Amino acid sequence: MGEHSARHLRRILRLYLVERSLLDVADAAELALTELIANVVRHVPGRHCQLCIYLMGDEGVRVEVTDSSPGLPTVTVREALDEGGRGLLLVDAVTGKWGVDVREDGGSKTVWFECLTGGRGVAESG
C-alpha cells in the first residue's frame, strides 16, 4: 500500500455511498475504514489486503478488509496521552457492529464492520 492508499479507498467508499444515498453513514464508514487500513499498514508484512464493500440496500454498508497475517487485532485501553492504539476503540464507537473472521487456512483473517442507517455508525447532526 502506498502512502495515499487510505485516502484513495475512502474516496471510493464515499462514491459508493453517495451513489446509493447513504451519505448519513459515510463519515463513520470512512473513519472505520481508515483505522482498518492503518492496522494493515502497521501490522501486516507487505501491507497487502483485499477490500470488499457491500452495500446493503438502503440499510447501510458492510466493509471487509482481508489480509494474510494470522495475528488478530485486539482492543487496547491506552493512557490518555498515548499517541496510538485506539483504532479498534474508534471502530467500535462509530460502527453498528464489527468483528474478525479467521479464515479456514489459519493464516489470514477478515476484519469487518457495518454502518447502518438509523443506528450506530451514523454521524450525529447537532
Q: What is the pLDDT of residues 9-20, one digit of tens each?
A: 999 999 999 999
The sheet with strand 49-55 has its strands ordered as 49-55, 60-67, 109-116, 97-102
**Which grid cell is 35?**
483505522
Distance from the Cα of residue 126 to its chain's centroid: 24
Q: Measuring CA to CA, which residue among 57, 36, 59 is closest to residue 115?
A: 59
pLDDT value for 21 = 94
Residue written as grid cell 487485532: 73
Q: For residue 99, with 0-12 CB atoms within 10 Å meaning exposed, 13-18 middle and 19 or more buried, which class applies?
A: exposed
* Region class of 25: left (phi > 0), else alpha (psi between -120 and 50), else beta: alpha
| All domains of the chain in start order, with CATH | 5-116 (3.30.565.10)
Q: What is the pLDDT of residues 73-109, one digit of tens each?
A: 877 665 554 555 568 888 999 999 999 999 887 789 9
pLDDT value for 119 = 63
Count helices and strands (H / E) in the chain: 3, 4
pLDDT value for 47 = 87
Q: Residue 111 pLDDT > 60, yes or no? A: yes
pLDDT value for 126 = 39
Q: What is the pLDDT of residues 14-69, one digit of tens each?
A: 999 999 999 999 999 999 999 999 999 888 888 889 999 999 989 999 999 999 98
